Structure 1
Amino acid sequence: MAKTDMALEDELVMIRQMVEAALPLWPVPAGAEVSLLNIAENMTWLVEAGAFRAVLRVHRPGYHTRTGIGQELAWSQALARDAGIDTPAVIAGVNGALVQEAPVPGVEAGRDAGRYMVMFEFAPGRQPGPDDDLVAPFRSLGAIAARTHIHARGWQSAEPLERLVWDEAAVFGPGATWGDWRAGPNVTPEIREVLEKAEQMIRLRLAAWGKGQARYGLIHGDMRLTNLLIDGSRTVLIDFDDSGLGWYLYDFAAAVSFMEDHPQVPALRAAWVAGYRDIAPLSEEEEREIDTFVMLRRMALLAWIGSHIEAPEPQAMAPHFAEGTARLGRAWLARLARG
């Protein structure tokens, strides 16, 4: 969610007022109503007026620059245009700009005084759940990931990238994007001991894996279930807000976010790999290394929960997430020890 000094309830009231006042920045019919869809890094709002429906994303302050948001939109729209990726179109403002900005009512000048906003066309479909039969969607997702990676290798931003970087420093470094996993809820001394060993092993394996062009580049970074819309046989990929530089295999790890220990994950992994190979090569070595990136992502999510604990989703997962992460870590380290 947005990081401010305000309580969440007060912030929601102010952001709603800002959104309602800002609607004339876009070609939105008069009398449109807004309703909150989601709170995560950003807030997303549904905008409705008769047959008109759109989704408005209000950016967390300080997370991205205006240029960086523009680069996200440029890449996602290039993927739709050139690589056949279903992703919602951006609705330009009446001034022609894709990124708009508006002041937050009652907030004095400073970092939190204004918010960047982007409006997207409404995409039909439903978000799948972890208990759905996800094998077919994950095969589609593997193919989508392959097409995004192929496209990314040939795509160039007009300016130097101002996007996130999802490497070991972003997860484990002193300036980690989502904070220190050790500060996550319920990280007991026993859990910390296990995860310290997991972090050390992840660092070693990532250093050996390297950042060659075939393995590392521009990725979506958050292909989890909440960012997919299933509409019949069509899979729509939304929310490129976390797109940036990272390892390509991280996109599978992100796809199983918060459900890494679900019984169907092995089948989903096999389906994703098969879908990827329908489009692009994926070596046996790469397939074996996927679990390293699952652990990297899981520990990043533990930090995310701790640094976003005021939002409903992290609060719901907080009681048992550290324990589950340690259980995954023990199993992963044991598999590596067995060779």
Structure 2
Amino acid sequence: MTAELEQLARTALGAYELGDRATLRTLEIGLNAVFEVRAGSARYVLRVHRAGYRTPAHVWSELTFLRAVGDDPEVPVPIETRNGGLFVEVADADGQRHSCDLQTWLDGRVLVPGHGLGVAGVHSLGQGLGRIHNAAEGFSPPPGFELPVWDADGMFTTEASPFRPTLGIDDVLGPEDRDLYDEVADRTRAVFEKLGRGADAFGITHQDYILGNCFLRRGHGGWQVASFDFADCGWGFFLYDLCPLLGNLAGYPGAIFGNPAYPKLRDAFLAGYRTVRPLAVEWEQHVPLLIAARQTEHCLLTARPDVSPTPAQDAAWRVSLARLSLELPV
């Protein structure tokens, strides 16, 4: 599989003005295959998207948004093909078409609690997400713009899930876990209804703003943040978008399971966010629930045997993290 994906990547590179000596190195094989590209002194990231996951319209819209963001916040910028496109499509041996795109390289390191990430870095991560949300609120979608919707239906129903699960939720969860799944879904739906869909609460969200998708580097005046992997971005609730990284800080999942420093780090993250964007204090009461929602939502991602070889075990693990998340302090 890796060799086939690498061949797809090499074919895609032919659509770009990189010269004949561009080199390719595998970085990650996950939902998408990600490669480092070197062309002379320049470095890029090439993504080969999983077939049948994001539509070409989704990929174009994601890249259109990233191009509009600029450099504050710092995000990868798509490189145009020689024909002026934002991505190309390449067919594999089975005839399945994969969208492929080339993006600018970002510098920095992934840091986690206990391994270089402290209060100051977490504060900067909060600022980084606030800047993404500001850019989203100020963005005017062009004609043809189309992204998945991460509302309660998209997060918790098989039919509407952007993860496109091939198994039903009852195929991966037992009765007790299904009860908790439904409870979290119902409570999350109620919170979203309270938030409403005004421009201050609902817009384009990263949807996977986790420690593993943020680079940190020291610069003048403190930590600089670069955010990447917008492959799940869509229309969603800004409050929810805070919660995947908060779950990391708590240790669900994260470097330190049940991290005792979570309250201090949570406060730093929210304070950083508030330096660039308002966040009502009363909405903090919903954070433990929405961290749990992140875990239960991912049961539908594991409900794809091509993503998870052990979907039932992985879904049960996600529900176990949801139970712990509901007990987090506000």
TM-score w.r.t. the length of structure 2 is 0.83
What is the match of residue 323 of structure 2?
326
Of 86, 89, 95, 1:101 maps to 89
What is the match of residue 74 of structure 1?
64
What is the match of residue 122 of structure 1?
105
| 1:86 positional shift | 0.9
| 1:119 positional shift | 0.5
| Pair 1:41 & 2:31 matched | yes
Contact 2:291/2:325 (8 A) holds in 1: no
Of 181, 199, 203, 1:213 maps to 199
Contact 1:216/1:246 (8 A) holds in 2: yes
Contact 1:153/1:217 (8 A) holds in 2: yes
Distance 1:64 1:197, change over 3 A: closer
| 1:245 positional shift | 0.8
The structure where helix makes up a greater share of residues is 1
* Identity between Structure 1 and Structure 2 (%): 26
What is the match of residue 55 of structure 1?
45
Q: Structure 1 stretch 58-67 or stretch 243-252: which is displaced more?
A: 58-67
Find the aligned partners of 1:256 and 1:309 in 2 and give their Cα distance.
28
What is the match of residue 3 of structure 1?
none
Tell me how many residue pairs correspond in the alignment.
314
Distance 1:253 1:183, change over 3 A: farther
| Pair 1:270 & 2:267 matched | yes
What is the match of residue 288 of structure 1?
285
Distance 1:161 1:267, change over 3 A: farther
Deviations 1:136-184 (A, max 9, x none): 2221122222222223222111115310111100111241233455544
Of 197, 200, 203, 2:189 maps to 203
Find the aligned partners of 1:54 and 1:308 in 2 and give their Cα distance.
31
| 1:80 positional shift | 2.0
Stretches of structure 1 lacking an aligned partner (at least 5 in a row): 1-8
What is the match of residue 127 of structure 2?
143
| 1:313 positional shift | 11
Classify the secondary structure of the residue corresponding to 1:19.
Answer: helix
Counterparts of residues 132-171 of structure 1 (less than 5 Å): 132=115, 133-171=117-155
Contact 1:309/1:315 (8 A) holds in 2: no
Deviations 1:25-80 (A, max 9, x none): 11223233322212333111112345332110111223333333222222222222
Contact 2:49/2:100 (8 A) holds in 1: yes
What is the match of residue 177 of structure 1?
162
RMSD: 2.9
Deviations 1:101-129 (A, max 9, x none): 2222x223xxx2x2111101222211223
Contact 1:195/1:326 (8 A) holds in 2: no
Find the aligned partners of 2:282 and 2:262 in 1 and give their Cα distance.
19
